Amino acid sequence: MTSRQDITDPRPRYRQIADALRAEIRGGQYAIGTMLPTETELCGRFQASRHTIREALRLVEDAGLVARRQGSGTTVIAHENPGRLVQDISRVGGLLQYPDETRLTVLRARDTVLDDEASALMNMPAGETWLRVEGIRRVRVTTAPICFTTLLLPPEFAAVVEEIGQEPGPVYALLERRFGLRLASVDVDLSAGGVPATQAALLEVEAGAPALMIRRRYIDETGRVFEVSHSCHPAPRFHYRATLRREL
């Protein structure tokens, strides 16, 4: 079936095509595990360029409905959005926080003594006591978790725990408002890893499943580390997309 462009539709052509494909997938036209038509076939059907088709398929992949592999085509992996979150980094703030549609639910908070690894990371003496906060972040209550997050906070900031997840926005912003801090810089480390056995059940995946690990150190104007976060994101529920522009 050929699908022509609707000139009365203000949406970009690639988005029209993506929406049409998503509707067909969700309607059961393609069974899970089957392949979508090739890019060439979709170009003919929608009378669109290969670039437009690839942009449309990218949106369908971002919705968590298909998986694409170079040279292998596009495979249907779900009929409904599994709760995957795509974070677009087109500005510095994208590295610092999650979009407002997510919420971090605190599971437990307790004092912890910094070991050698933690003290080296935070440039603080080993043996100091900090507050350890663990939680699960979701896009919506009904969706699968996108990550397990561990926070380390100075114990004098314990009162902020009751506010986490109540309002949109990152934890560091809560600390700034409540305690008069001012963020100066953030160190961000991204690495690949496996989901720890202690977090697997909470994340609804198998222990050792592939995951993206993100560690952030929040530093105030005095050079003090006032928050450290470590998040484990099971694949493929979360990924970063960055737009890098050449300086002129």
**Average of per-residue pLDDT values in the chain:** 82
Would you place residue 94 in the very low, low, confident or very high pLDDT band (cuts 50, 70, 90)? very low
- In percent, the amount of the chain with pLDDT more than 70 equals 79
- List the domains of the chain with CATH numbers: 13-76 (1.10.10.10), 85-242 (3.40.1410.10)
Question: Torsion-angle region of residue 227: left (phi > 0), alpha (psi -120 to 50) or beta?
Answer: beta
Question: Lowest-pLDDT range, 66-75, 85-94, 195-204, 216-225?
Answer: 85-94
Count of alpha carbons within 13 Å of 64, Cβ hemisphere only?
A: 17
Whole-angstrom Cα distance, residue 163 to residue 135? 13
Query: What's the predicted TM-score (pTM) here?
Result: 0.59
Nearest to 22 by CA among 82, 80, 70: 80
- Tell me the per-residue pLDDT of 117-155, one tens digit each, with 9 for 90 and over: 777 766 677 788 999 999 998 876 657 788 999 999 999
Residue 88, pLDDT above cutoff 60: no
What mean pLDDT do residues 160-165 have? 88
What mean pLDDT do residues 149-175 have? 88
Residue 48, pLDDT above cutoff 80: yes
Residue 243, pLDDT above cutoff 80: no
What mean pLDDT do residues 160-177 have? 85
- Tell me the per-residue pLDDT of 171-183, one tens digit each, with 9 for 90 and over: 888 899 999 998 8
Would you place residue 8 in the very low, low, confident or very high pLDDT band (cuts 50, 70, 90)? low
- Tell me the per-residue pLDDT of 206-238, one tens digit each, with 9 for 90 and over: 999 999 998 988 988 888 889 999 999 998 776
Count of alpha carbons within 13 Å of 15, Cβ hemisphere only?
A: 4
Whole-angstrom Cα distance, residue 57 to residue 11? 16
Whole-angstrom Cα distance, residue 72 to residue 10? 33
Residue 195, pLDDT above cutoff 90: yes
Count the neighbouring beta carbons within 10 Å of the beta carbon of residue 83: 17
Q: Of the segments 1-5, 112-116, 126-130, 134-138, which one has the largest average pLDDT value?
A: 134-138
- Tell me the per-residue pLDDT of 74-86, one tens digit each, with 9 for 90 and over: 999 888 765 554 5
What pLDDT does residue 146 have? 87
